[in-house]
Amino acid sequence: RVKVPPDKPDSNLKLDSVPIRTVSAKSSDGNKTRVGSLRLEELDFVPMCEITGKEAVSAIHRARTQHCKQEIANTTCLIAFGQLYPERLPHSCSAPDLVMGKSLGCFQDNKASRLLQGFYSNLKNSNSPLNCINLCLQSGFPYAGVQYGSECFCDNEEPPSTARLPDSSCNMKCPGDPKEACGGYYTINIYQTGVAKLTPQVAKEGTPLGHHPPVRIAFLLTLNGRAVRQVKRLIKALFHRDHFFYIHVDARQDYLVRELMSLEMRLGNVRLSRRRHATIWGGASLLSMLLEAMTDLVNSAWDWDFVINLSESDFPVKTNTQLVEFLSANRRRNFVKSHGREAQRFIQKQGLDKSFVECEAHMWRVGDRTLPWGIVIDGGSDWLALSRPFVHYLTTSTTDPLLKGLITLFKYTLLPAESFFHTALRNSKFCDSYVDNNLHVTNWRRKLGCKCQYKHVVDWCGCSPNNFKPEDWARLQGTEGRSLYFARKFEPVINQAIINKLDEWLYGPYPPNVTNINSYWQSVYSEADMSPPPDDALITICNSLARINSRLLSSVGTSCIPVAGKLLDITSYHHLDEYRGSLIMYESHIKDLQSPIKIEVWIKPVEFFSILKPIGPISRLKTLVVSSDYDQKEQTSRNFMRVIGPFTEVTAIFHLSAGDSTQNVTFIWIDPIGAIAEVTEVSFEDVACVGFTKPSLKTPMLPGAWEIKVVWNRTLCAQTRFLVSPLQMLSKSPLTHHQA
């Protein structure tokens, strides 16, 4: 799901208009040269073509490694040579009543209109189950209230009128250049898109199972992060001995894969993929991973009927029995969710008309592209429920020109899994199994979730749905009686009460003797992790706390004197959806004892916020803390321990109660030697809200106790303190004297 590109690309930039010639990195006299605005002296290779497109040039310069720069350059040149993408792809959706690609010829406006009338009435009388046609009006002039271009009208309705907007569900491109063919007149090409009636006879829940042998589901879990307790809870909620669980864990998440391996060892129907990828948000790797995992599933001995992909933040909203009943009655259907807006708008918002190259765990935008002619482009959500025959087709038809072409196209596509499956479905012989419902309810709150939060991962503005909270309960309850089986997102570090409630709604209340039902623990660091790299400031602080703790233990006069050793684990502890501190587990050596013992210490950040004068807008200020990793969508810092080192990007986060008017206050950032490091003007909105401000402090920040003084109306009204820790380690190695 996407909003708008972060920096508006130059719409006049067309890579296919780039003149192609071979260039050399050095001119004949040995001086470094520049071609276009590409600085060749930065490259240790010679690009295959002259690259002048603004986006490609920017991507090449921003990429760090030569390998990535070269990949971007090569892809850009292949596109410019017309050698990367297929120009046209076949559409194999069978169309019993209508002729695919039938051209009604060249007409003037009124005649075209009459012809269309005739066409529509024929269509109405045809009783065709395939009721979506694509109407291409390529005159270059507005016609019947619709601008020229590829437009689509569905459901055997009357010809388009000014009152009716085109339906969004088909968008087949019109081939050829009509102006040339028609000498300036209108041309009308009618293309059968062959989409099944979008409301197929989906069985209602409760259809007696007796009629249908129960399906077996392969849950394809694509996981990231460290929420292992939640992942196990998800598996437990879905578990049935007849189902299968195939798990891909992001290649960078050592902890999660280690923890889940024990499930694989215990359960024959759980397996972890050994082909792991760094599946970045929105990346092409997400699609290649899904296709690879589906191939593994098809080749496995597991006898499944459906693949359903889920993430660590999905949870069922119906029982396993209900899901099986529903799918058993709809065995050969494929469930995907379409965007539900005008197709061209979707293509633009989604960046489908741009090429992206994935390397260095980033999707680099390299420029515009032309989508292949002849197919319907469709997309929406990447959460799917696909039937075995379709998955078999996707993974085994290696020579199928449609699939081959789509795989190439989507290798250079942002958020590819949001469109690849829809497009393959709509243009293949499986088109009539398409159901516009992915069985999911998604908690979109675009005001919060569309903050371009993935700019560091993709050259585009991405959106994410919010986590469900207790106030969203009605939304979840509203799924009752509807063909909705899953909801997203859920994250117990944000809210676990809603997950408990949902779980009990589905499977009944927990027995009263279950302890800690309202507590949650999540790993922050584990000694065995190679990846992701730990935060040096976190390791420094936790080592220091372990030493302090051991000193405290020694001072209580016990005969054993524990000396703090290796740091083992750091865990975040939450109770009743409040962060209650962190648990630091470390090894400790005791005199005369051969092997070390483990000590776990529970620590919590100290609050330093104080109001000095509750005047004006300051009377509304409830809290003020300094932290990092502020999540604008969930309006909270994910650095629960508030560990700050010299290189941390700090954020001040405050809670306000409602007020009468919006007012400005001043935050003065004071470093440990008492110098003013930064002054930020902060607007206190007139509503109850969570606000934040990010100062642009120079790094490395001076280690020590920092302060924020809050000033309003020239009066010091409130203040807080925060600690910038020095570093003991840099990338897990002890700091040298010079670095210190």
Rounded least distance, CB 286 to ligand UDX, Å: 6
> Measured from the CB atom, is 414 or 652 closer to ligand UDX?
414
290 is an interface residue for ligand UDX by CB under 6 A: no
**CA atoms of 643 and 541, how far apart (whole Å):** 8
**CA atoms of 628 and 653, how far apart (whole Å):** 9
358 is an interface residue for ligand UDX by CB under 6 A: no
415 is an interface residue for ligand UDX by CB under 6 A: yes
> Which own/partner contact pairs does 676-681 have at CB distance under 8 Å and 24+ positions apart?
677/701, 677/706, 680/652
Rounded least distance, CB 279 to ligand UDX, Å: 4
**CA atoms of 170 and 192, how far apart (whole Å):** 10
Rounded least distance, CB 312 to ligand UDX, Å: 6
Q: Which of 167, 259, 360, 418 binds ligand UDX (CB under 6 A)?
A: 418
Q: What is the DSSP string of 365-432?
A: EEEE-PPPBTSB---B-S--EEEHHHHHHHHH-TT-HHHHHHHHHHHT-SSGGGTHHHHHHHHSTTGG
| 3-class state of residue 246 by DSSP | strand
312 is an interface residue for ligand UDX by CB under 6 A: yes
| C-alpha distances in Å from residue 325, one per residue of 322, 477, 483, 486 | 5, 20, 11, 15
Which has the closest alpha carbon to 332: 202, 462, 235, 439? Answer: 202
Cβ neighbours for 606, distance < 8 A, ≥ 6 positions apart: none
222 is an interface residue for ligand UDX by CB under 6 A: yes
Rounded least distance, CB 249 to ligand UDX, Å: 8
466 is an interface residue for ligand UDX by CB under 6 A: no
313 is an interface residue for ligand UDX by CB under 6 A: yes
User: Per DSSP, what are the bridge partners of residue 664?
Assistant: 683
* Cis before 404 (ω within 30): no
570 Ramachandran zone, left/alpha/beta (phi>0; psi -120 to 50): beta
230 is an interface residue for ligand UDX by CB under 6 A: no
Q: Per CB under 6 A, which region of 126-134, 292-300, 305-313, 637-645 contacts ligand UDX?
A: 305-313
The pair of three-digit structure tokens given for residue 104, joined into one six-digit string: 């009604």
Rounded least distance, CB 195 to ligand UDX, Å: 22
User: Per DSSP, what are the bridge partners of residue 531?
Assistant: none
> Measured from the CB atom, is 1 or 642 closer to ligand UDX?
1
Rounded least distance, CB 479 to ligand UDX, Å: 17
Rounded least distance, CB 417 to ligand UDX, Å: 6
User: Per DSSP, what are the bridge partners of residue 138?
Assistant: none
CB 699 within 8 A of CB 647: yes
Give the containing element (helix H, strand E) for 474: helix 473-477
Q: Per CB under 6 A, which region of 139-147, 279-287, 384-392, 670-678 contacts ligand UDX?
A: 279-287
Cβ neighbours for 401, distance < 8 A, ≥ 6 positions apart: 86, 89, 90
381 is an interface residue for ligand UDX by CB under 6 A: yes
> Measured from the CB atom, is 319 or 453 closer to ligand UDX?
453
720 is an interface residue for ligand UDX by CB under 6 A: no
In the stretch 471-510, what mask flags binding to ligand UDX with x, by CB under 6 A?
A: ------------------x---------------------
Binding positions for ligand UDX, 113-152, rule CB under 6 A: none
250 is an interface residue for ligand UDX by CB under 6 A: yes
Start-to-end CA span in the chain (Å): 44
> Measured from the CB atom, is 286 or 723 closer to ligand UDX?
286
Q: Per CB under 6 A, which region of 11-19, 104-112, 280-288, 498-506 contacts ligand UDX?
A: 280-288
281 is an interface residue for ligand UDX by CB under 6 A: yes
Rounded least distance, CB 625 to ligand UDX, Å: 25
Could you give phi then psi for residue 283, rounded to 5 degrees?
Answer: -80, 160
Q: Per CB under 6 A, which region of 72-80, 89-97, 376-384, 650-658 contacts ligand UDX?
A: 376-384
Q: Per CB under 6 A, which region of 308-316, 518-526, 590-598, 681-689 contacts ligand UDX?
A: 308-316
| 3-class state of residue 714 by DSSP | coil
Q: Which residues bind ligand UDX (CB under 6 A)?
A: 1, 222-224, 250, 279-281, 286, 311-313, 381-383, 415, 418, 464-465, 489
